[in-house]
Each structure stands twice: as structure tokens, then as C-alpha cells.
A and B are shown apart, each in its own frame.
Chain A
Amino acid sequence: MATVDLPGRPAPARNVPARASVRLQSLGLFFLLLGGSLVWISGHVPVEDVTLVFGLGDLAPRIPVDPPNAVLTIALLYFVAGGVALAHRWTGRYATVALVGAAVLAVPLILILSVALGNVTQTNLLPLLTEALRLSTPIALGALAGLWCERAGVVNIGIEGMMLASAGIGFTFYALVAGAAGGPWLIVAVLVSIGVGGLLGLLHAVLCVTYRTDQIISGVAINLLAIGITSFLRRQVLLPLGVGTGVTLSAIKIPFLSSLPVVGQTLFVGKPIFFTMFVVVLLSRVVLFRTTWGLRVRSVGEKPHAAETLGVNVVRIRYQSVVLGGLIAGLAGAWFTLETVGSFEDLMTNGTGFIALAALIFGKWRPWPAFGGALLFGFSAALGSRIQLLGVEVSGFPVPSQFLQALPYVVTVVVLAGAIGRAIPPAADGVPYEPSR
């Protein structure tokens, strides 16, 4: 026989994909350069000590920081992290760990720099954290709304419009029946908001699932429709009513926890939708991964035809999930008008729905990580207003407020560019389902 006998070879080696390698190296390089510029900056920041406080009362920890030395320390850590990432061929998974660590270090860095450059000498971190959590509420809810749609295979870029419509219509209802003056009608108004979101979810489902419209175009149409309807309603109904700023949902205290020293009064006193958000994240996680319905939703988003051959009703599951997503987006809409502002302005959701989608992608279509993504954006927004409060000046000019307002959007672009290569969406996400027959 003319066969060539080859010695047994080991199974194919696992290797780092080329794209990831480029990403690790460019991020490593970025942190090396950042470390270099920080060394320069550390020589130019004011030398007075600043104090970072965490919490309220005498028990709250107070950390004195010497800005030049702190910045220099972080710079050195960045050199280490950058080096570890550049040498990822040898350091393996530590490269990613080092980069994540470096990214987390950016938080104290920015805080120390802004206090040092501002006109105060101390800043409290706990209110910053709670403000970040509070601002991340609509983002997290929006991300969960997107999660339920996309886990079932329907892309939903209409979340922005769903939020806007439910914010506007819910508040208009509130103003119509109760003059926006509080009372039980406020709760009903929240339910109306949720219902509006559900109805728009149903519209999206009808278009995308039954009529197999392009899902992105359907989302765009829903956004346009929401803008049109809410601004029409505002001019035709809301403005003639002449209601001023309405009464919003009142804060609730979590028993026991709210009486904890240092953190209780800040962390565990808040408004209902804010707390509901955590419940929704938890429930989403449990339902998606622990129940039979969740299993079916996931199968429908990954491979609808496989689910179909097992007798799962793909159309019904997709309808249920997209409507559920709409309901959650409606709750997010209520946050704007009924929990936070107490009035309705045109376009007041201001891109939150799109940031929510970025948080969803950042969180790889999983509930808690998506919440983490939302927190990242909430934090950048909170930080922007904190920097403004601190009166930070760079070389004699105040930091323009527009730059700080744009911060969450910049963070979104950077995060997407960094994260999406590794984020794999549900396989059937965005693919219209054609039943057999």
C-alpha cells in the first residue's frame, strides 16, 4: 500500500483570534501612552491634598489623597497593564485582566483629577454612586426591553420611541384625569405608560413577526411615530390644559436597610421604579435561564426552525417576548415623566433607548452584565454633572458643559468599538422567521 504513515498529531491547538490580538495590543499601547501622559500630568496638577469621602455621618470613611503621587501611581500601574497586554502572547488571560483593571482605575483617576482641578477640596463618592444608579434606571430597563426582544430573535431599535411614547402618553393621561396632582391616579398613569409600551411592542411584533418587515426599519418607523404622536398630543392636549410641574412618585424607604449608618439614607431610600429596575433585572435573569418559557425564548432566538420541529410555537413566543419587551420599555418611559421630571418635553428621552441597546450589546445579551453596561453609562452621565458642579478648570477655561453632556455618547462609541467584536448576538437575531408549510 502506498499510504504515508503519519505520526499521531495532537488535536488542533486553540489560538487567540487575529482580531482579538490586534485589539489587545492596541489597547495595551493606548494604556502605555496614557501612562506616559499621566506622568507629565502628575507634574502639573495642584499639590494640595484632596479628600475622598464615602457616605454620610462620622463613620463614613475619608481618604486623603495627594494628587501628584496618586496620579503617578496610577501611571505606573498603567505601564504594567499596558506591558502585560502587549505581551499577551506570553501573559495569556492576564492580559485581559490587566486591561479591565486599568479601565476600572480610570474612575479614581478622573475623580482625583477633577477634585484637584476644581474649586473644592473634597468630594463624596456615595451620592455619585447613587446618582449613577438612578440615572442608569431607564438605560437598564431599556436594555432589558431589548434583551427580551432580541433573545427571541427580533431586533428592536424602536425602544427609544416606545419609551418616548409611554412617557408622553402616560403623563398626558395623568394630566387629563388628575391634573398631574398626585394621588392614586399617578399609579394608574404608570400602568398606562406600561400599557403604551406594550401596545407599541405589539405593533413591532405584528410588523416584524407576522408581516416580516425589516426589523430595523420597523424600529425607525416606531421611533418616528412616537415623536409625531407625542409632540402632537403635547400641543393639542397637554399645553392647553396648562398643568405645571406635576407631583411625581414619592420616595420609599427599604425597611431596616435604610436605617444602616453611612450608606442607608442614600442607597436604600429611593423611588419605586428605581427599585423595580433591580427586580426586573433579577426576574429577567431567572425567567430566561431557569424556566421552560425562558428556554423556549432562547431557542427561538437562536434557531427557530429547531424549536418549530419540536412543536414550539415560534410566532407565539416571539409575540410574547416582544410585547414583554415593550412593557418594560413602557416602565422606562414612566421613569422620565412620572418618577423624575413631573412634566413632558418633546424628545425628552434624548437617545436613552439607543444607549440602552449599546448597554445590551456590552452585556452580551445577559441581564446582569447588561445592567453593568447601563451602570457604566449612568456613571459617565453622573460624572459629567459632578465635574460641572466641582467647577473644574483646565488651563484657565471651564470645561464646556456640552462636552460633559456628550460624555455618555462618547463612552458608548468607545465601548461599542471595544466590546462588540467579542459579543456574539443570538444567532437568529434580526432574521425574519418563515414558518414551514
Chain B
Amino acid sequence: MTPPSQSFGRRSLERYFRLAPVTVPLYAILIASLVGAVFIIGAGSNPLTAYAALFDGALGSPDRIATTIGRATPFIIGALAVVLGFKAGLFNIGAEGQLLLGALAAAWVGTWSWLAGLPAVLAVPVVLLAGTLGGLVWGGIPGVLKAKTGAHEVITTIMLNSIAAAFASYLITSRDPILLIDQAASTPHTRLVADSARLPALVTGTGLHLGIVLALALCVATYLFLKRTTPGFEIRTVGANKDAALYAGMPVQRTIIVVMAASGALAGIAGAAEVIGGSSGYLTPGAFTNIGFDSIAIALLARGNPLAVVPAALLWGALLSGAPLMQVEADLSVNLVRIVQALIILFVAADAIVRKLFRIRAPRGAVDGGPATFSRGWAG
């Protein structure tokens, strides 16, 4: 037996090495920006001007900062959904579709007339609950399919994304029969949700609404849930070693279904909160495209940590909200930001490259705390 004092010393050392991976994403951002600069030069612009405009557009004034945070809100919740899946060894690429289903449910329930008579403290939770259920169902389907038939969630969720998009397009645009469409509108969109069901804005005119508080609360709750509770322990065990979870008497199949459904539910909340918190209060066809896919990238950037999701999502929001100013000032397509984002993910995932370039030691005494490994082939 090791004396307690020595074991304490070792533990803080352990903790240091577990923290070291934070440096990898930082360096990844640096390299991605450098490679992005090559594209900027190729397009005939000055990288310094472009990046300065990007920064200015994202954080140049209090209102811009608020916009950035508002932009990040659905990313935080969406990425949290993906992280929850990671923890159980599931790769939920379906956040996109689940988020859309949540948004549809909120846009539908939010127009129910009896909601208008309720106080906001009751009406808002009802609509959020509807969004949760919408996402829960859409996330539960691949969960059940995986648990019962072994169909890999990566493909089923991608297919369900396309199905959700077609379904949403039908519900929003159909005039024969009339479903969710606002007949008075010139371009198709859903009817306006009741005022009592709207999430109040925090800084008017910036898209920052009360949803950010919900997002932060969900992050902390998920973190504590995974770390401190027995279901959280079960989820992490299923993710780390499914066979050991089975051996330990954990309900593996049920955990897979529950986690996929819960992950979908979180994505659904993200969609619902945007419908009732966004400036319009209705849903248009093609709205929220890519939020779900961006959430995956953010979850990877956060290396599967529910708390690290917040800074990662803020970075993402900043890149996207700064891009239009960059387009104006440096005459560059906003899509440059997409390339930089893809490169960030690439270098975070291929951390071996970053470690080699910057001579960062691999964490010792611990199998790296990065996102779980998914490459177990198609049958697992």
C-alpha cells in the first residue's frame, strides 16, 4: 500500500496530464488558421485584413458579442446532445434531424390557442417539452434500431436527417391540405407562436435570448449527472467497454435506447428554444440547416466534455457571426470559415500530428481522455 501523502501527489500530477489535452485544440486552431490563410492568399486577399475583420465582426462591440453568444446558444445544447451520445459510445449524427423535429413540435404546439391565455412561466415549458418530445422520438428510433437489430446509428441517423428535412418541408409548405403554413405570408413559414410562449430576449436586436441560461444549466446538469450518478456511471461504462457493462449487470440495450432518446431530446430542446427565442417566432423551410452538423464538430472540439462544449460553441458562434464582416471587408466568401472549421476538427482528431508538430507529450498514466472511439466497425 502506498502512503496517502504520496498517492495524493501522484493524483495532482495525473490531473495535470489529463488537462494537457486542452493545449491540443488551441494549437489545432492555430494551424487551421494558418492553412486557412493559404486559401485567403489564393483568393487574392490579405489574411491579416480578413482575420481582423472576422474578429471585429464577432467581438467588435457589445452588441456583436451578444450576437455571437446568441449564435452559440443552439450549438451549446446541440453539442451537448452529441457529447451525451459520445459518452455511451454512440455517434449521433442525427442532431440535425432531431433538432428540426423539436423545432417543428414547438412551432406546432406554440400556436395552440389555449397557450396564449397561460402565463409565460407555464407556456414556455409546455412548448419546450413539446420540442423535447419531438427530438426524443426522432433520437429514439435509431436507438431502438441499434439495440434491437444492430443497425449502425451513423447511417440510420443520417438517413433520418434527410427524412426529417423532407417531412419538415412538407409540414411547413403544404397548402393542400393546410398544415402548419401561415396562409397570409408571402413566403411560406409557420404561423406565429403565442406571445406567452416566447423566450424573452436578453439584449434586444441581437438574437441573445434566455435560452443561453437554459443551455448553461443543461451543461452543468449533464456534467454532474454523468460524473455523480449511477445511470451516468452506467452510460460511461457502456461507452468505455460494452462487454464489461454487460458483465457488470448493466442494462446495455436499454442504456443505448435511453441515451439516443435523451440525446435527441436535448437536440429537440435546442430547436424549440430557437423557434421561441429567435427574433421571428416561426419556422421557415430550411431553417436551422447545419446547426446539428456544427454541433458534432463542436462536440469533437470539446473532446467529449460537457463543460468544454461552452467555449467550443462560443468559438464556433464567433466564427460564423464574424464571417459576414469579413466577406465585406476582405471580399471573401463566408464559406472560408467553413474550411477553417473543418481543419480545426481535422487537427483535433488527428492529435498525433499536432503533438508531433509542437512536441506535446501524450498524457501519461491515462488512456487519453479524448472523445470515445467509434471505429468499431459496423456491427458494434
Contact = CB atoms under 8 A, between A and B. Distances in A.
Say if the two chains contact directly (CB < 8 Å).
yes
A232 interface: yes
A367 B111 CA distance: 52
Nearest to B356: A211
B145 interface: yes
Contacts of B375: 155, 214-216, 430-432
Contacts of B196: none
A420 B166 contact: no
B162 A351 contact: yes
Contacts of A354: 155, 158-159
B186 interface: no
Nearest to A421: B150
Interface string B23-49: 000000000000000010001000000
Contacts of B151: 413, 416-417, 420
A332 B238 CA distance: 38
A412 B166 CA distance: 15
Contacts of A432: 375
B216 to A, nearest CB: 26
Contacts of A405: 166
A272 interface: no
A236 to B, nearest CB: 5
A189 to B, nearest CB: 20
Given A421-B149, A429-B377, A216 B154 contact: yes
A231 B333 contact: yes
A232 B326 CA distance: 14
A224 B345 CA distance: 9
Contact of A228 (B159, B162, B338, B350): B338
A34 B156 CA distance: 24
A212 B166 contact: no
A217 B349 contact: yes
Contacts of A212: 352
A228 B158 contact: no
B356 to A, nearest CB: 8
B371 interface: yes
A214 B39 CA distance: 26
A229 interface: yes
Nearest to B340: A228
Interface stretch (A172-180, A309-317, A396-404): A396-404
B376 interface: yes
A229 B297 CA distance: 16
Contacts of B377: 155, 425-426, 429-431
Interface stretch (B169-177, B200-208, B229-237, B275-283): B169-177
Contacts of B339: 225, 228-229, 232
The interface centre, meaning the residue of A224, A351, A430 with most chain B CB atoms within 10 A of its CB, is A224
B135 to A, nearest CB: 17
B162 A406 contact: yes
B185 interface: no
The interface centre, meaning the residue of A228, A234, A397, A418 with most chain B CB atoms within 10 A of its CB, is A228
Contacts of B335: 228, 231-232, 234-235
Interface residues of B, number: 54
Contact of A403 (B145, B166, B341): B166
A218 B378 contact: no
A357 interface: yes
B115 interface: no
Interface in B126-170: 145, 149-152, 154-156, 158-160, 162-163, 166-167, 169-170
Given A214-B373, A216-B375, A225 B91 contact: no
Contacts of B296: 220
A32 interface: no
B155 A236 contact: no
Contacts of A406: 162-163, 166-167
Given A410-B163, A412-B155, A418-B149, A400 B170 contact: yes
Contacts of A234: 335
Contacts of A413: 145, 151, 156, 159-160, 163
A410 B165 CA distance: 13
Contact of B155 (A207, A211, A220, A357): A357
Contacts of A221: 342, 345-346, 349
B350 A211 contact: yes
The interface centre, meaning the residue of A231, A358, A406 with most chain B CB atoms within 10 A of its CB, is A406
A236 B166 contact: no
A143 interface: no
Nearest to B355: A211
Contacts of B169: 402
Interface string A101-114: 00000000000000
A51 interface: no
The interface centre, meaning the residue of A207, A216, A350, A429 with most chain B CB atoms within 10 A of its CB, is A216
A157 interface: yes
A265 interface: no
Contacts of B258: none
Interface string B248-264: 00000000000000000
B343 interface: yes
A224 B348 CA distance: 14
A416 B163 contact: no
Contacts of B174: 400
Contact of B338 (A207, A211, A231): A231
B353 interface: yes
A416 B376 contact: no
B89 to A, nearest CB: 11
A155 B377 CA distance: 7
27 contacts: A23-B149, A211-B350, A211-B353, A213-B351, A214-B349, A216-B154, A216-B374, A218-B346, A220-B300, A227-B338, A227-B342, A231-B335, A231-B338, A232-B336, A236-B43, A236-B333, A351-B159, A354-B155, A354-B158, A406-B162, A409-B162, A417-B151, A421-B149, A421-B150, A425-B378, A426-B377, A429-B377
Which 7 pairs of residues, A with B, have the shortest CB-CB distance?
A228-B338, A235-B333, A430-B375, A224-B342, A228-B339, A225-B342, A406-B166
